[in-house]
Chain A
Protein backbone atom coordinates (compact mmCIF):
# COMPACT_ATOMS: atom_id res chain seq x y z
CA UNK A 1 0.00 0.00 0.00
CA UNK A 2 1.34 3.37 -0.99
CA UNK A 3 1.80 6.01 1.71
CA UNK A 4 -0.33 8.48 -0.17
CA UNK A 5 -3.24 6.18 -0.55
CA UNK A 6 -6.16 6.43 1.84
CA UNK A 7 -5.87 4.07 4.85
CA UNK A 8 -8.99 2.05 5.57
CA UNK A 9 -9.44 0.01 8.69
CA UNK A 10 -11.85 -2.79 9.30
CA UNK A 11 -13.55 -2.40 6.02
CA UNK A 12 -14.89 1.05 6.84
CA UNK A 13 -14.01 2.67 3.62
CA UNK A 14 -14.53 6.07 2.16
CA UNK A 15 -18.06 6.88 1.16
CA UNK A 16 -19.71 4.35 3.47
CA UNK A 17 -22.03 6.84 5.21
CA UNK A 18 -24.20 5.73 8.06
CA UNK A 19 -27.83 6.25 7.38
CA UNK A 20 -29.15 9.60 8.65
CA UNK A 21 -25.74 10.90 10.05
CA UNK A 22 -22.87 13.04 9.01
CA UNK A 23 -20.85 11.53 6.26
CA UNK A 24 -17.87 9.79 7.83
CA UNK A 25 -14.48 11.44 7.65
CA UNK A 26 -12.42 9.82 4.95
CA UNK A 27 -9.30 8.19 6.32
CA UNK A 28 -6.13 10.27 6.16
CA UNK A 29 -3.14 9.16 4.20
CA UNK A 30 -0.69 6.68 5.68
CA UNK A 31 1.97 9.40 6.08
CA UNK A 32 -0.35 11.56 8.12
CA UNK A 33 -1.53 8.60 10.15
CA UNK A 34 2.04 7.56 10.99
CA UNK A 35 3.05 11.10 11.88
CA UNK A 36 0.10 11.41 14.19
CA UNK A 37 0.86 8.04 15.74
CA UNK A 38 4.48 9.03 16.39
CA UNK A 39 3.45 12.36 17.87
CA UNK A 40 0.86 10.77 20.12
CA UNK A 41 3.25 8.04 21.27
CA UNK A 42 5.83 10.70 22.10
CA UNK A 43 3.28 12.80 23.98
CA UNK A 44 2.04 9.92 26.06
CA UNK A 45 5.40 8.41 26.76
CA UNK A 46 6.25 8.21 30.45
CA UNK A 47 8.84 10.62 31.64
CA UNK A 48 12.07 8.72 32.16
CA UNK A 49 12.34 8.55 35.92
CA UNK A 50 14.44 6.63 38.41
CA UNK A 51 11.97 4.43 40.17
CA UNK A 52 14.47 3.25 42.72
CA UNK A 53 18.14 3.63 43.46
CA UNK A 54 20.00 0.41 42.93
CA UNK A 55 22.09 0.23 46.07
CA UNK A 56 22.66 -3.51 46.03
CA UNK A 57 26.28 -3.19 44.98
CA UNK A 58 26.93 -0.57 47.62
CA UNK A 59 25.32 -2.74 50.30
CA UNK A 60 27.50 -5.67 49.26
CA UNK A 61 30.58 -3.54 49.74
CA UNK A 62 29.33 -2.11 53.02
CA UNK A 63 28.66 -5.59 54.38
CA UNK A 64 32.14 -6.78 53.49
CA UNK A 65 33.73 -3.67 55.02
CA UNK A 66 31.59 -4.07 58.16
CA UNK A 67 32.64 -7.70 58.59
CA UNK A 68 36.32 -6.78 58.31
CA UNK A 69 35.86 -3.82 60.66
CA UNK A 70 34.16 -5.94 63.30
CA UNK A 71 36.76 -8.66 62.94
CA UNK A 72 39.69 -6.28 63.40
CA UNK A 73 37.94 -4.49 66.25
CA UNK A 74 37.23 -7.70 68.09
CA UNK A 75 40.88 -8.64 67.78
CA UNK A 76 42.21 -5.32 68.91
CA UNK A 77 39.70 -4.01 71.38
CA UNK A 78 39.31 -4.96 74.97
CA UNK A 79 36.13 -6.49 76.24
CA UNK A 80 37.31 -5.47 79.66
CA UNK A 81 35.18 -3.27 81.83
CA UNK A 82 37.27 -0.27 82.72
CA UNK A 83 36.25 0.80 86.18
CA UNK A 84 37.72 2.16 89.36
CA UNK A 85 38.33 -1.44 90.39
CA UNK A 86 40.21 -2.41 87.24
CA UNK A 87 42.04 0.08 85.04
CA UNK A 88 44.66 -1.59 82.93
CA UNK A 89 47.99 0.22 82.38
CA UNK A 90 48.96 2.10 79.26
CA UNK A 91 51.87 1.21 77.05
CA UNK A 92 53.47 2.60 73.92
CA UNK A 93 53.22 -0.88 72.40
CA UNK A 94 51.03 -1.07 69.29
CA UNK A 95 51.19 -4.75 68.45
CA UNK A 96 48.09 -6.91 68.22
CA UNK A 97 46.79 -8.31 71.48
CA UNK A 98 47.06 -12.04 71.95
CA UNK A 99 43.80 -13.88 72.60
CA UNK A 100 45.37 -17.20 73.50
CA UNK A 101 45.26 -18.48 77.05
CA UNK A 102 43.37 -18.30 80.30
CA UNK A 103 42.37 -14.81 81.39
CA UNK A 104 43.58 -13.94 84.89
CA UNK A 105 42.19 -10.65 86.16
CA UNK A 106 43.83 -8.91 89.09
CA UNK A 107 41.54 -6.10 90.19
CA UNK A 108 41.74 -3.97 93.32
CA UNK A 109 39.44 -6.38 95.16
CA UNK A 110 39.67 -9.87 93.62
CA UNK A 111 41.81 -12.22 91.59
CA UNK A 112 39.46 -13.61 88.95
CA UNK A 113 40.03 -16.62 86.69
CA UNK A 114 37.61 -17.28 83.86
CA UNK A 115 35.02 -14.90 85.34
CA UNK A 116 35.07 -16.64 88.71
CA UNK A 117 36.34 -14.87 91.83
CA UNK A 118 39.12 -16.94 93.32
CA UNK A 119 41.08 -15.03 95.95
CA UNK A 120 40.28 -11.64 97.53
CA UNK A 121 42.90 -8.91 97.34
CA UNK A 122 43.47 -7.24 100.72
CA UNK A 123 43.12 -3.50 101.24
CA UNK A 124 46.91 -3.14 101.35
CA UNK A 125 48.22 -5.61 98.76
CA UNK A 126 51.88 -4.55 99.14
CA UNK A 127 52.59 -7.97 100.69
CA UNK A 128 50.42 -9.90 98.25
CA UNK A 129 47.30 -11.83 99.19
CA UNK A 130 46.69 -12.83 102.78
CA UNK A 131 48.93 -15.55 104.21
CA UNK A 132 46.07 -18.02 104.70
CA UNK A 133 45.59 -18.28 100.93
CA UNK A 134 49.25 -19.17 100.36
CA UNK A 135 50.95 -22.52 100.73
CA UNK A 136 53.68 -21.51 103.16
CA UNK A 137 52.30 -18.45 104.88
CA UNK A 138 52.69 -14.73 104.20
CA UNK A 139 56.19 -14.95 102.70
CA UNK A 140 55.36 -17.63 100.14
CA UNK A 141 54.53 -16.75 96.55
CA UNK A 142 52.31 -19.75 95.78
CA UNK A 143 48.58 -18.95 96.02
CA UNK A 144 46.90 -22.32 96.67
CA UNK A 145 43.33 -21.45 95.64
CA UNK A 146 44.52 -19.81 92.45
CA UNK A 147 46.76 -22.77 91.64
CA UNK A 148 43.95 -25.32 91.98
CA UNK A 149 41.69 -23.27 89.69
CA UNK A 150 44.50 -22.85 87.16
CA UNK A 151 45.42 -26.53 87.36
CA UNK A 152 41.97 -27.64 86.21
CA UNK A 153 42.18 -25.19 83.31
CA UNK A 154 45.70 -26.42 82.52
CA UNK A 155 44.59 -30.08 82.51
CA UNK A 156 41.84 -29.27 80.00
CA UNK A 157 44.18 -27.18 77.87
CA UNK A 158 46.83 -29.91 77.90
CA UNK A 159 44.35 -32.39 76.40
CA UNK A 160 43.22 -29.85 73.81
CA UNK A 161 46.81 -29.09 72.87
CA UNK A 162 47.70 -32.77 72.59
CA UNK A 163 44.71 -33.48 70.36
CA UNK A 164 45.29 -30.45 68.13
CA UNK A 165 48.97 -31.14 67.61
CA UNK A 166 50.30 -28.20 69.62
CA UNK A 167 53.02 -28.35 72.22
CA UNK A 168 51.31 -29.65 75.38
CA UNK A 169 54.25 -28.88 77.68
CA UNK A 170 52.97 -25.46 78.68
CA UNK A 171 49.93 -23.22 78.48
CA UNK A 172 49.54 -19.52 78.02
CA UNK A 173 47.85 -16.93 80.20
CA UNK A 174 46.59 -13.40 79.65
CA UNK A 175 47.24 -11.19 82.67
CA UNK A 176 44.80 -8.34 82.99
CA UNK A 177 45.87 -6.41 86.05
CA UNK A 178 44.97 -3.05 87.52
CA UNK A 179 47.61 -0.36 86.95
CA UNK A 180 48.09 0.12 90.70
CA UNK A 181 48.68 -3.57 91.44
CA UNK A 182 51.86 -3.78 93.54
CA UNK A 183 54.76 -5.75 92.12
CA UNK A 184 54.60 -8.27 94.95
CA UNK A 185 51.02 -9.28 94.10
CA UNK A 186 51.84 -9.45 90.40
CA UNK A 187 54.80 -11.72 91.07
CA UNK A 188 52.69 -14.00 93.28
CA UNK A 189 50.20 -14.43 90.44
CA UNK A 190 52.96 -15.00 87.87
CA UNK A 191 54.81 -17.41 90.14
CA UNK A 192 51.64 -19.44 90.73
CA UNK A 193 51.02 -19.53 87.00
CA UNK A 194 54.58 -20.73 86.45
CA UNK A 195 54.15 -23.47 89.04
CA UNK A 196 51.01 -24.73 87.27
CA UNK A 197 52.86 -25.18 83.97
CA UNK A 198 51.97 -21.89 82.34
CA UNK A 199 55.08 -20.92 80.43
CA UNK A 200 54.03 -17.79 78.58
CA UNK A 201 52.28 -14.71 79.88
CA UNK A 202 50.61 -12.00 77.87
CA UNK A 203 50.42 -8.80 79.91
CA UNK A 204 47.38 -6.90 78.69
CA UNK A 205 47.95 -3.17 78.23
CA UNK A 206 46.11 -0.33 76.60
CA UNK A 207 47.68 1.14 73.51
CA UNK A 208 48.40 4.73 74.28
CA UNK A 209 50.97 7.23 75.35
CA UNK A 210 53.36 6.53 78.16
CA UNK A 211 51.98 7.58 81.50
Chain B
Protein backbone atom coordinates (compact mmCIF):
# COMPACT_ATOMS: atom_id res chain seq x y z
CA UNK B 1 0.00 0.00 0.00
CA UNK B 2 1.18 3.48 -0.84
CA UNK B 3 2.44 5.47 2.10
CA UNK B 4 1.67 9.10 2.65
CA UNK B 5 4.43 11.62 2.72
CA UNK B 6 5.10 13.78 5.78
CA UNK B 7 3.45 16.77 4.15
CA UNK B 8 0.39 14.76 3.27
CA UNK B 9 0.08 13.39 6.81
CA UNK B 10 0.44 16.87 8.21
CA UNK B 11 -2.16 18.21 5.87
CA UNK B 12 -4.56 15.38 6.73
CA UNK B 13 -4.09 16.09 10.46
CA UNK B 14 -4.85 19.75 9.93
CA UNK B 15 -7.89 19.23 7.72
CA UNK B 16 -9.44 16.50 9.83
CA UNK B 17 -9.51 18.62 13.01
CA UNK B 18 -13.10 18.99 14.11
CA UNK B 19 -14.31 22.51 13.64
CA UNK B 20 -14.52 24.55 16.82
CA UNK B 21 -17.77 26.44 16.93
CA UNK B 22 -17.55 30.13 17.53
CA UNK B 23 -19.21 31.24 20.77
CA UNK B 24 -22.02 32.87 18.84
CA UNK B 25 -22.56 29.68 16.84
CA UNK B 26 -23.00 27.51 19.92
CA UNK B 27 -26.35 27.08 21.61
CA UNK B 28 -25.46 29.84 24.04
CA UNK B 29 -28.35 29.23 26.43
CA UNK B 30 -28.43 29.70 30.16
CA UNK B 31 -28.24 26.51 32.10
CA UNK B 32 -31.53 26.77 33.89
CA UNK B 33 -31.73 23.16 35.01
CA UNK B 34 -30.72 23.90 38.65
CA UNK B 35 -33.17 26.77 38.66
CA UNK B 36 -35.95 24.47 37.44
CA UNK B 37 -35.05 21.94 40.14
CA UNK B 38 -35.49 24.60 42.81
CA UNK B 39 -38.74 25.87 41.31
CA UNK B 40 -40.15 22.35 41.14
CA UNK B 41 -39.34 21.74 44.79
CA UNK B 42 -40.79 25.07 45.86
CA UNK B 43 -43.94 24.43 43.82
CA UNK B 44 -44.44 21.04 45.45
CA UNK B 45 -44.18 22.54 48.91
CA UNK B 46 -46.47 25.44 48.06
CA UNK B 47 -49.11 23.13 46.58
CA UNK B 48 -48.84 20.79 49.56
CA UNK B 49 -49.29 23.55 52.11
CA UNK B 50 -52.04 25.72 50.65
CA UNK B 51 -55.65 24.71 50.93
CA UNK B 52 -57.59 25.82 47.91
CA UNK B 53 -61.19 26.57 48.65
CA UNK B 54 -63.50 27.24 45.79
CA UNK B 55 -66.20 29.76 46.49
CA UNK B 56 -69.45 30.79 44.90
CA UNK B 57 -71.89 33.58 45.62
CA UNK B 58 -75.65 33.48 45.95
CA UNK B 59 -77.21 36.69 44.69
CA UNK B 60 -79.94 38.23 46.78
CA UNK B 61 -81.79 41.47 47.29
CA UNK B 62 -82.50 43.62 50.35
CA UNK B 63 -84.97 42.24 52.87
CA UNK B 64 -88.42 43.69 52.79
CA UNK B 65 -89.88 44.87 56.03
CA UNK B 66 -93.57 44.01 56.00
CA UNK B 67 -94.25 41.81 53.05
CA UNK B 68 -97.09 42.62 50.69
CA UNK B 69 -96.32 44.89 47.77
CA UNK B 70 -98.35 48.04 47.20
CA UNK B 71 -99.83 46.98 43.90
CA UNK B 72 -101.81 43.78 43.62
CA UNK B 73 -100.60 41.53 40.79
CA UNK B 74 -102.97 41.11 37.86
CA UNK B 75 -102.25 37.40 37.34
CA UNK B 76 -102.32 34.79 40.07
CA UNK B 77 -98.93 34.39 41.65
CA UNK B 78 -97.61 31.78 43.98
CA UNK B 79 -95.80 34.27 46.23
CA UNK B 80 -93.82 31.50 47.85
CA UNK B 81 -92.54 32.27 51.33
CA UNK B 82 -90.58 29.84 53.44
CA UNK B 83 -90.23 30.45 57.13
CA UNK B 84 -87.49 28.42 58.78
CA UNK B 85 -88.45 27.57 62.33
CA UNK B 86 -86.69 25.30 64.83
CA UNK B 87 -89.11 22.44 64.09
CA UNK B 88 -89.03 22.57 60.30
CA UNK B 89 -90.25 24.69 57.43
CA UNK B 90 -93.45 26.67 57.31
CA UNK B 91 -94.43 27.27 53.69
CA UNK B 92 -96.84 29.95 52.54
CA UNK B 93 -98.17 30.13 49.01
CA UNK B 94 -101.02 32.10 47.42
CA UNK B 95 -101.51 33.85 50.72
CA UNK B 96 -102.29 30.71 52.66
CA UNK B 97 -100.31 28.41 54.90
CA UNK B 98 -99.47 25.10 53.27
CA UNK B 99 -100.59 22.18 55.41
CA UNK B 100 -98.36 19.21 56.28
CA UNK B 101 -97.96 17.04 53.21
CA UNK B 102 -98.00 20.02 50.85
CA UNK B 103 -101.39 19.09 49.40
CA UNK B 104 -103.70 21.67 50.84
CA UNK B 105 -103.84 24.78 52.94
CA UNK B 106 -104.20 24.53 56.63
CA UNK B 107 -102.42 24.98 59.92
CA UNK B 108 -99.12 23.36 60.79
CA UNK B 109 -95.66 23.03 59.39
CA UNK B 110 -95.56 21.97 55.76
CA UNK B 111 -92.27 20.14 56.24
CA UNK B 112 -91.24 18.96 59.67
CA UNK B 113 -87.89 17.72 60.79
CA UNK B 114 -86.84 14.18 59.94
CA UNK B 115 -84.53 12.32 62.32
CA UNK B 116 -84.05 15.55 64.24
CA UNK B 117 -82.55 17.20 61.15
CA UNK B 118 -83.83 19.59 58.51
CA UNK B 119 -85.62 17.69 55.77
CA UNK B 120 -84.40 19.51 52.67
CA UNK B 121 -85.40 16.69 50.29
CA UNK B 122 -89.06 16.88 51.33
CA UNK B 123 -88.92 20.69 51.10
CA UNK B 124 -87.63 20.43 47.52
CA UNK B 125 -90.43 17.99 46.64
CA UNK B 126 -92.97 20.29 48.30
CA UNK B 127 -91.99 23.46 46.42
CA UNK B 128 -91.80 21.46 43.19
CA UNK B 129 -95.34 20.26 43.74
CA UNK B 130 -96.51 23.81 44.48
CA UNK B 131 -94.85 25.15 41.34
CA UNK B 132 -96.42 22.42 39.23
CA UNK B 133 -99.88 23.01 40.70
CA UNK B 134 -100.78 25.60 38.07
CA UNK B 135 -99.46 26.71 34.69
CA UNK B 136 -99.55 30.30 35.95
CA UNK B 137 -96.68 29.55 38.32
CA UNK B 138 -94.28 27.88 35.91
CA UNK B 139 -92.36 31.12 35.21
CA UNK B 140 -92.23 32.22 38.81
CA UNK B 141 -88.72 32.05 40.21
CA UNK B 142 -88.73 34.25 43.28
CA UNK B 143 -88.98 33.04 46.84
CA UNK B 144 -88.88 34.92 50.12
CA UNK B 145 -87.00 33.20 52.88
CA UNK B 146 -87.41 34.17 56.46
CA UNK B 147 -86.45 32.55 59.70
CA UNK B 148 -86.58 32.58 63.43
CA UNK B 149 -83.90 34.81 64.96
CA UNK B 150 -81.79 31.88 66.13
CA UNK B 151 -81.69 29.95 62.85
CA UNK B 152 -78.09 29.48 61.70
CA UNK B 153 -76.84 30.92 58.45
CA UNK B 154 -75.86 27.45 57.20
CA UNK B 155 -79.49 26.34 57.51
CA UNK B 156 -80.63 29.37 55.51
CA UNK B 157 -78.08 28.62 52.78
CA UNK B 158 -79.10 24.95 52.66
CA UNK B 159 -82.75 26.02 52.40
CA UNK B 160 -81.87 28.30 49.47
CA UNK B 161 -80.07 25.34 47.86
CA UNK B 162 -83.11 23.12 48.41
CA UNK B 163 -85.54 25.47 46.64
CA UNK B 164 -83.19 26.58 43.85
CA UNK B 165 -83.44 23.58 41.58
CA UNK B 166 -83.95 19.86 41.48
CA UNK B 167 -82.67 17.21 39.09
CA UNK B 168 -85.21 15.54 36.83
CA UNK B 169 -84.98 11.79 36.08
CA UNK B 170 -82.56 12.46 33.21
CA UNK B 171 -80.19 14.28 35.56
CA UNK B 172 -80.86 17.73 34.15
CA UNK B 173 -81.63 20.45 36.66
CA UNK B 174 -85.15 21.85 36.75
CA UNK B 175 -85.17 25.43 37.91
CA UNK B 176 -87.50 26.03 40.84
CA UNK B 177 -86.99 29.27 42.77
CA UNK B 178 -83.46 30.64 42.28
CA UNK B 179 -84.28 34.31 43.02
CA UNK B 180 -84.03 34.73 46.74
CA UNK B 181 -84.95 37.64 48.89
CA UNK B 182 -84.99 37.69 52.65
CA UNK B 183 -88.00 38.53 54.71
CA UNK B 184 -88.13 40.16 58.10
CA UNK B 185 -90.70 38.84 60.53
CA UNK B 186 -92.38 41.65 62.34
Contacts and interface: CB of A to CB of B under 8 A. Distances in A.
Interface of A: 7, 9-10, 12, 24-29, 32-33, 36-37, 40-41, 43-46, 51-52, 54-56, 73, 76-78, 80, 82, 88-98, 126-128, 141, 174, 177-184, 186-187, 190-191, 193-194, 198-207, 210-211
B57 interface: yes
Nearest to B17: A44
A172 to B, nearest CB: 9
A182 B58 contact: no
Contact of B55 (A55, A76, A177): A76
B54 A76 contact: yes
A94 B63 contact: no
Given A76-B54, A89-B158, 7 more contacts: A28-B8, A52-B27, A141-B65, A179-B154, A182-B149, A183-B84, A204-B56
B56 A187 contact: no
B149 A127 contact: yes
Interface string B146-186: 11111111101110110010000000000000000010100
Nearest to A73: B52
Contacts of B61: 199-201
A194 B11 CA distance: 96
Which 10 residue pairs of A and B lie closest in terms of their CB atoms, listed nearest first?
A194-B62, A184-B149, A202-B57, A40-B16, A183-B147, A179-B154, A28-B2, A27-B5, A89-B154, A9-B7
Nearest to B11: A9
A91 B157 contact: yes
Interface string B19-40: 0000000110101100000000
A63 to B, nearest CB: 12
Contact of A28 (B5, B51, B62): B5
Q: Mostly helix, strand, loop or mixed at chain A's interface?
A: mixed
Contact of B59 (A37, A89, A193, A202): A202
A40 B120 CA distance: 87
B150 A184 contact: yes
B184 to A, nearest CB: 6
B18 interface: yes
A79 to B, nearest CB: 9
B85 to A, nearest CB: 11
Contacts of A92: 161
B53 A78 contact: yes
B48 interface: no
Contact of A44 (B18, B62, B152, B154): B18
B12 interface: yes
A187 B184 contact: yes
Nearest to A31: B2
B8 A33 contact: yes
